Amino acid sequence: MPNAYGLLPVLEALRSGSRRIERIIIAEGAKHERLRELFDAARRAGVPVRREPRAALDRVTGNANHQGVVAVIAGATYADERDILDSVSSRTLLVVLDGIEDPHNLGAIIRTAECAGANAVVIPERRAAHVTETVSKTSAGAVEYLPIAKVTNLASFIDSLKQKNVWVVGVDQSAGMPYTEFDYSGALALVLGGEGKGLHRLVRERCDAVVSIPMAGRIESLNVSVATGIVLFEAIRQRNARDDVK
């Protein structure tokens, strides 16, 4: 896992305890009302904090908008796909991404999935964005709480999900079924394709259903992170409504 930077992502990294933080670097002269909160969290976690020139933080983050705060992470970890499969239940809700290449989109999707209560986000090992400092920052710290699995073969992983009785629903603008017409109850995996490319053929063929979001304007499609949020929260709405009836 990469270093975390920015006040909120670093705070969430400390609170979650999901990553081993070697140290936190604060830019000399940095002033923020929540820095005291960060110092307290670092002390409770036993993580050393030191101040360095802002130029040092610029080098570590590649001149990103670090807000004068960087957490140096010890190592990279992803959730194991076998653990994801073994934890499948009737309430499982997964977000599977078929070739999302923009790290900002990946970060936004992870944030949305965590807010919706998804169990995990699954990404392919090749030809896709992985978790970077930019993804961590864009997710607003959601990468600290939501398992993210990286799989070698996405089509095979989907086959394994179906063997576990998970309904696999693709989201693609060319589909004839509006997303509001599908029944999202039960174990569910939502699959979204890459920017401008949509779902790959082998992935689409393995979906139990493919739904679309009707467009009323002149632009033909939504940003993939926005589309994820729309369909994901429709699924949540339906599932909650059914729980209220029981």
> What ranges do the domains of the chain cover?
4-73, 81-245
Please give the pLDDT value at position 35.
87
Segment 171-182 mean pLDDT: 92
Distance CA 76, CA 78 (A): 7
pLDDT band at 4 (very low <50, low <70, confident <90, very high): confident
Residue with more model confidence, 28 or 231: 231
Fold assignment, 81-245? Alpha/beta knot (3.40.1280)
Please give the pLDDT value at position 221.
78
pLDDT band at 177 (very low <50, low <70, confident <90, very high): very high
The C-alpha angle with vertex 194 and arms to 190 and 199, in degrees rounded to 5, equals: 60
- Full strand arrangement of the beta sheet holding 93-98: 148-151, 120-124, 93-98, 188-193, 167-171, 209-212, 177-178
**75 pLDDT more than 60:** no
Please report, rounded to a whole number, the percentage of residues in the chain having pLDDT higher than 70: 96
pLDDT tens profile 39-53: 999 998 888 999 999
Please give the pLDDT value at position 20.
75
In CATH, what class is 4-73? alpha beta
**92 pLDDT more than 90:** yes
pLDDT tens profile 111-166: 999 999 999 999 998 888 888 878 888 898 888 889 999 999 999 999 999 999 99
Please give the pLDDT value at position 2.
65
Distance CA 144, CA 114 (A): 10
Structure tokens at 43: 């002390």
Please give the pLDDT value at position 17.
77
What is this structure's pTM? Answer: 0.74
pLDDT tens profile 188-236: 999 999 887 889 999 999 999 999 999 888 887 789 999 999 999 999 9
Mean pLDDT, the chain, whole residue set: 89
Start-to-end C-alpha separation, the chain: 41
Segment 173-190 mean pLDDT: 93
pLDDT band at 74 (very low <50, low <70, confident <90, very high): low
